[in-house]
Amino acid sequence: MMNKPKNFDEKEWKKKLEEAHDFALYKKEEIKQELESQIKDIDPVELLSHISLLSQFFPEGKPESNQDLREKPILHFLAGLCLKNGNYSNRHPDNQEIGKIIELLNKYFIYHSQDLIFQSAKKEQVSEIDSLILCARLQKIISQINPSIYPFQLENLLKNVFGRLDNYFIGKVGFSVADALNFGQKIIKRYERLLNKRLNEAIEAQEIFVFTIDEFCKDEK
């Protein structure tokens, strides 16, 4: 159990806790409004497709890249904002817009986690709860079945549930659920190869540029 310090002022602690919680709620709403403003003139399908693809992209040598997109329910939240928006545009987002939206989404979930922590900590019994129990409670609140984290779970679900309708799918669209999953994996692998190739080309071009500038600076003329 966590012991209270001798000079612990519970009233003051609760006051600061409420202030911190109010600030987290304020920032969540502020960021959500900015996100809604950013996405209102963008094709939602293109936006979600781009970010979904990035969540599955592992740059060579940096497997931890885009980890937040996989571990947090960012796509779920963004899909909800797109549905709420309702004003669908055909304009494709550019790289700068996607980067800005991802940055805002990451900030939103920082304050979202703080909101959950403060909610749990506000409970009267929290000061007497072991820290491990509190962590477990928070994990239970935050966690969900996220296909971006556990793709094998999604595959099993699709095969076991929708696979029973293969005759219908083959008759209507010409391929089974297993075929569709295979198509998706091939698309992901192809984009991964192309993006890694483009990344390596950009790194090589940067190195050549730096070398050229260095050589130019060494030339007295």
If asked whether residues 132 and 180 sit together in one domain, one would say: no
Last residue within a domain, chosen from 131, 147, 163: 147
If asked whether residues 101 and 26 sit together in one domain, one would say: yes
Mean pLDDT across the stretch 55-84? 76
Number of compact structural domains in the chain: 2
- The pair of three-digit structure tokens given for residue 11, joined into one six-digit string: 């009233």
- pLDDT, tens digit (0-9, with 9 covering 90-100), for 168-182: 888 888 888 888 888
| Residues 6+ positions from 157 with CB-CB distance below 8 Å | none
Structural domain span for residue 163? 150-221
| Residues 6+ positions from 192 with CB-CB distance below 8 Å | 56, 57, 58
Mean pLDDT across the stretch 91-98? 89
Contact 161, 139 (CB under 8 A): no
pLDDT of residue 1: 41
The amino acid present at 190, given as its one-letter code, is: R
Q: How confident is the model at residue 2 (pLDDT cuts 50, 70, 90)?
A: very low
pLDDT of residue 14: 75
Contact 21, 144 (CB under 8 A): no
If asked whether residues 141 and 155 sit together in one domain, one would say: no
Last residue within a domain, chosen from 147, 164, 195: 147
Last residue within a domain, chosen from 120, 147, 174: 147
- pLDDT, tens digit (0-9, with 9 covering 90-100), for 14-68: 778 788 888 989 999 999 999 999 988 888 888 888 888 777 776 666 666 677 7
If asked whether residues 121 and 155 sit together in one domain, one would say: no
Among the listed residues 40, 45, 34, the one whose alpha carbon sits nearest the alpha carbon of residue 85? 40
pLDDT of residue 31: 93
- The pair of three-digit structure tokens given for residue 154, joined into one six-digit string: 């999604």
Report helix, strand or coil for 11. Answer: helix
If asked whether residues 192 and 172 sit together in one domain, one would say: yes
If asked whether residues 103 and 36 sit together in one domain, one would say: yes
- pLDDT, tens digit (0-9, with 9 covering 90-100), for 104-152: 998 998 888 888 777 766 555 444 445 555 555 555 555 544 444 455 5
Contact 147, 154 (CB under 8 A): yes
pLDDT of residue 110: 87
